[in-house]
Amino acid sequence: VLIPNLVLAQDNLAQKTQNPISDLISLPFQNNTNFGIGPNSRTQNVLNIQPVIPFSVSENWNLVTRTIAPLISQPDISEESGSTFGLGDINTSLWLSPKDPGKIIWGVGPILSFPTATDDMLGTGKFGLGPTFVVLTISGPWVAGVLLNNIWSVAGKSDRSDVNQMLIQPFINYNLAGGWYYSFAPIITADWEADSDNRWTIPLGLGLGRVTTMGTQPVNVSLALYYNVEKPEFVDDWQLRFQFTLLYPK
């Protein structure tokens, strides 16, 4: 049986974890298993290690940093077996956000992409730069908002294709008692360099998660399933997303 103070702490922490620009240090491990890729229905796996670290830069402003380092197992989509494993391109987002924003919470800044991939199949070969923006609101048990960015290639290997990619992630969470919550957080992407038939990836699905503790360590655990209702020719049909996050509240 959870004591009332612990339940309240879990509920409050759950809403903080759903705010990408809160003053909460966290270390998420997000594993995405993507099914049904290419003519041979291959499976790709991407483990994103994405520490989020906020800094106080003045009396009124925070700088929130999120770095995503992907470890990728990329199948050979033209064959029934064979894959490449390694590090993909690392990207870092920097959001400047007011400490006391009111009902509308927001952050804005740059996103940078680095050609750190250990194999050409796992990255773009380009340095990338662009804007990123987050806006959300919290009302009762609801947390709702959207994260956007667009990355353009600015340097890198001349024999690799230019990059012009947009990401939109709307998120809606409904929080229950005891740290449980439902989530809707599809990652919508657009490749502006591709032709119109292969430009958009639009998933739909739902997730369930809980903020709890392992010993004295607060953690956030969630599982979600998404289906791509619109996608390029060689992108997966289904995605199973499991996330385990270590939380370090003040």
Question: For 10-33, what is each residue's pLDDT tens digit?
Answer: 667 889 999 999 999 999 999 999
- For residue 250, what pLDDT band results from cuts at 50, 70 and 90? confident
Rounded to whole angstroms, the Cα distance separating 52 from 161 reads: 30
Predicted confidence at residue 63, as pLDDT, reads 98
Q: What is the pTM of this model?
A: 0.92
Q: 81: Cβ–Cβ under 8 A, 6 or more apart, which residues?
A: none
Structure-block tokens of residue 123: 């990255």
Is residue 121's pLDDT more than 60?
yes
> Per DSSP, what are the bridge partners of residue 248?
25
Q: How far apart are CA 26 and CA 135, in angstroms?
A: 19
For 82-126, the DSSP string reads -EEEEE--EEEEEEEEESS-TTEEEEEEEEEEE---SSGGGS-SE
Handedness of CA 54, 57, 58, 62 (dihedral sign): negative
Q: What is the mean pLDDT of residues 142-149?
A: 98
| 51: three-class secondary structure by DSSP | coil
131 beta partners: 110
The pLDDT confidence band at residue 237, using thresholds 50, 70 and 90, is very high
Cα gap 205→200, rounded to integer Å: 17
With a CB cutoff of 8 Å and minimum separation 6, the contacts of 75 are 37, 38, 42, 43, 44, 82, 83
Q: CA dist 225 to 31, 181, 222, 230, Å?
A: 12, 15, 10, 15
